[in-house]
Amino acid sequence: MKMMRVFLICFLCGFCVYGVWYVWFSAVSGPFTVKGGDVVYEGYRGYLVEPDARKSAYPGVVMIHEWWGLNDYIKDMAHVLAREGYRVLAVDLFGTVATTTEQARAQVAALDIKKTQDNLSAAVTYLRASGSLKVASLGWRFGGGQSFNLAVSGVPVDATIIYYGTVVPHIDMLSKIRAPILGIFGELDGVISTTTVRAYHNALVSLNKPRKTIMYPGVGNTFANSSSSDFAQKEATHAWGVTLNFLDHYLRGGPDVALLMPLE
């Protein structure tokens, strides 16, 4: 009987999380019908999602997963973004998917930095060569840090988006950024401090780099992940709207209309 109650509680909790996840995905999905599947580019594997109707040169986005790897959640997010009219290549930097923090930590520790840089560069090249005139990068947490690394690597991207990823507030490094950069952070993040984010932002200001930095109060890491127990729907929805506006503005020339909470 006790085991049955535990099972029921776990089932209901899981159903509630799935329900929030499904409702949020449904609310933020765009109008395009898309198709997705595995793809190989320069020897690397990823997951490509793009609109069915190839009537124009859709912009591309290199999507970079969290430390869990290229799991179903990231693939779902690739579908969500592609429905807005983008070709989304979700890269696979590990080749495996972690289900525990120990496994995830081990994946990150074993990461080959040079191979990772080559993978991301190849993903940008693949999207351009297959029809996308402009390409951005977008990543969450571990992937946010990799999106930042791509921005300072010299690989030509047209926009960079970082969701609570590690950033470095060093002038010499930030001076290498050649494209507009959007940073989205949570005030209660236990890893990336508000001091670091402000120093990073101020350095971008001093360099006159096109940037937008948002610090959401009262939320921590993974607040934008609808499959996480830390999910904050109001802030995540706002952040996603800012993300879509940023991409539309810099990849398609749309108006810059996002309501922001900058650090200036």
Average pLDDT over all residues of the chain: 88
Residue 262 domain flag:
no
pLDDT at 1 over 50: no
pLDDT at 264 over 60: no
Whole-angstrom distance, CA of residue 36 vs CA of residue 238: 26
DSSP reduced 3-state for 30:
coil
> pLDDT tens digits for 176-200?
999 999 999 999 999 999 999 999 9
Residue 246 domain flag:
yes
Q: How many domains does the chain have?
A: 1
Residue 188 domain flag:
yes
Kindly report the CATH number assigned to the domain that includes residue 199: 3.40.50.1820
Range of the domain at 137: 2-252
> pLDDT tens digits for 100-124?
999 999 999 999 999 999 999 999 9
Residue 260 domain flag:
no
Residue 45 domain flag:
yes
Residue 257 domain flag:
no
Whole-angstrom distance, CA of residue 189 vs CA of residue 223: 9
Whole-angstrom distance, CA of residue 256 vs CA of residue 104: 37
pLDDT at position 25 is 53
pLDDT at position 55 is 64
- For residues 223 and 216, is the Cβ–Cβ distance under 8 A? yes
Question: With 0-12 CB in 10 A as exposed, 13-18 as middle and 19+ as buried, what is 251?
Answer: buried
pLDDT at position 29 is 67
- For residues 80 and 29, is the Cβ–Cβ distance under 8 A? yes
Residue 263 domain flag:
no
**Which DSSP symbol is given to 52?**
S
Strands ordered across the beta sheet of 34-41: 34-41, 44-51, 87-91, 60-64, 135-140, 159-163, 181-186, 211-216
Residue 259 domain flag:
no
pTM for the structure as a whole: 0.88
